[in-house]
């Protein structure tokens, strides 16, 4: 099983943004030194949920600050980007990193309407913008000069420079936050990145994915290959004992989910606007649904046992968030070291 650290640093005080960004860079370099397979980056704006805000710029820094770990996006909020600009930036990072780039694309935030408002984008257009942008990006990477006449962009593009380091282009993967999108990826024969779910829900969704690929005519080899290229996300906290993990990790996790829910409610109170999302799909609802669902915590043995159940489903990659909410960097770093020393070797075996 491949393992990635999802850098999702929370900064609730604008005055501390620079400090948290510096600490996040340290966490990335530590992950690289410890042998993490991938360093994953997120994109959120205006709220401090993700302090470095722009994963594309931050990925360029990581491309020169790290040496071994791949650099992935989970995900770029594609609807907020111009596709040609994004294609150029990603091709440059692919060259800077010597081909260590994984391009994770998503429609944009499913919960925070102010991300769209700040960029002047109608959130109802997010999915269509994503689909059109991906088509443009792939053409820019693989073709010479081309023209595009679409719903959102009308382009006359000379050959893109620089060309991607990876041939024909870096791997592209989509985020799947709902069962509907997961099934659609299966029908298209595409791997997926699944958001935080319980083991029961993950098992159910993987079964749906397999069934949909089978119905679309894919054989067992293709299905196994896609699952090996797919990723599931878990929040993780490892301590010397289960009791210590409960005492230290759970309050930070609860504080994180509570502050994010309060932020969305405050924006709704101020503006009267929100994105309508089924309550069961909201992160804090999934986190409350069961103790192990929102946060996998415990001793190395306990965490290994829990994640081994995920590995048995055939999914080849784990996206793990170690720094939770306002958790100090040193606490998260200790958890990360313990995980890489005692849990990761078991999962890889």
In whole angstroms, give the CA distance from residue 197 to residue 206: 11
pLDDT tens digits, residue range 110-133?
Answer: 678 889 999 999 999 999 999 999
pTM of the complete model: 0.94
User: With contact defined as beta carbons under 8 Å apart, do 95 and 167 qualify?
Assistant: no
Residue 190 clears pLDDT 90, i.e. is over it:
yes
Domains observed in the chain: 2-348 (3.20.20.30)
H/E stretch holding 60: helix 55-65
Q: Which helix (H) or strand (E) holds 221?
A: helix 220-228
At 263 the pLDDT is: 82
182-202 as b/e: b if 16+ CB within 10 A: bbebbeeebbbbbbbbebebb
Q: What angle do CA 319, 324, 327 make, to 5 degrees?
A: 145
**Is pLDDT above 60 for 239?**
yes
End-to-end CA distance of the chain: 8
Mean pLDDT for 81-103 is 98
Give me the pLDDT at residue 266, please.
Answer: 82
| Partners of 3 in beta bridges | 318
The confidence band for 293, taking pLDDT boundaries of 50, 70 and 90, is low
Degrees to nearest 5, angle at CA 268 with 264 and 273? 115
**What is the C-alpha separation between 74 and 66, in angstroms, rounded?**
18
Angle at 145 between CA 141 and CA 151, to 5 degrees: 80
Residue-level pLDDT at 127:
94
Structure tokens at 115: 């991300």
> What is the dihedral angle through the alpha carbons of 271, 277, 280, 285, rounded to the nearest 10 degrees?
-30
For tokens 């990659």, the residue is 317
Q: Is the pLDDT of residue 281 over 70?
A: no
Confidence of residue 292 (pLDDT cuts 50, 70, 90): very low
C-alpha to C-alpha distance for 80 and 152, rounded to whole angstroms? 12
Please state, rounded to an integer, the average pLDDT across all residues of the chain. 93
């Amino acid at each position: 099983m491949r393992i990635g650290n999802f850098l999702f640093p929370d900064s609730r005080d604008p005055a501390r943004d620079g400090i948290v960004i510096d600490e996040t860079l340290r966490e990335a370099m530590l992950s690289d030194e410890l042998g993490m397979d991938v360093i994953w980056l997120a994109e959120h704006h205006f709220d401090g949920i993700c302090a470095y805000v722009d994963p594309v710029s931050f990925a360029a820094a990581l491309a020169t600050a790290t040496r071994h770990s791949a650099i992935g996006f989970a995900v770029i909020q594609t609807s907020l980007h111009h596709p040609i600009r994004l294609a150029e930036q990603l091709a440059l990072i692919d060259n800077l990193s010597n081909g260590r780039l994984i391009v994770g694309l998503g429609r944009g935030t499913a919960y925070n309407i102010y991300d769209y408002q700040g960029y002047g984008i109608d959130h109802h257009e997010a999915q269509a913008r994503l689909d059109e942008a991906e088509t443009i990006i792939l053409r820019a990477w693989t073709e010479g000069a081309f023209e595009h006449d679409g719903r959102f962009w009308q382009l006359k593009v000379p050959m893109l420079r620089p060309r991607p380091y990876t041939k024909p282009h870096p791997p592209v993967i989509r985020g799947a936050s709902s069962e509907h999108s997961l099934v659609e990826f299966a029908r298209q024969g595409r791997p997926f990145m699944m958001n935080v779910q319980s083991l029961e829900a993950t098992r159910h969704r993987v079964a749906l994915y397999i069934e949909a690929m089978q119905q679309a005519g894919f054989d067992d080899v293709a299905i196994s290959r896609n699952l090996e290229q797919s990723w599931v996300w878990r929040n993780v906290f490892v301590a010397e004992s289960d009791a210590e993990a409960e005492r230290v990790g759970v309050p930070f996790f609860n504080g994180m989910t509570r502050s994010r829910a309060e932020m969305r409610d405050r924006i709704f109170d101020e503006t009267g606007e929100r994105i309508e999302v089924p309550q069961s799909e909201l992160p804090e609802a999934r986190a409350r649904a069961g103790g192990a669902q929102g946060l996998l915590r415990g001793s190395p043995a306990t965490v290994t046992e829990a994640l081994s159940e995920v590995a048995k489903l055939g999914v080849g990659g784990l996206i793990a968030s170690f720094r939770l909410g306002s958790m100090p960097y040193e606490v998260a770093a200790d958890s990360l070291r313990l995980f890489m020393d005692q849990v990761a070797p078991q999962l890889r075996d």
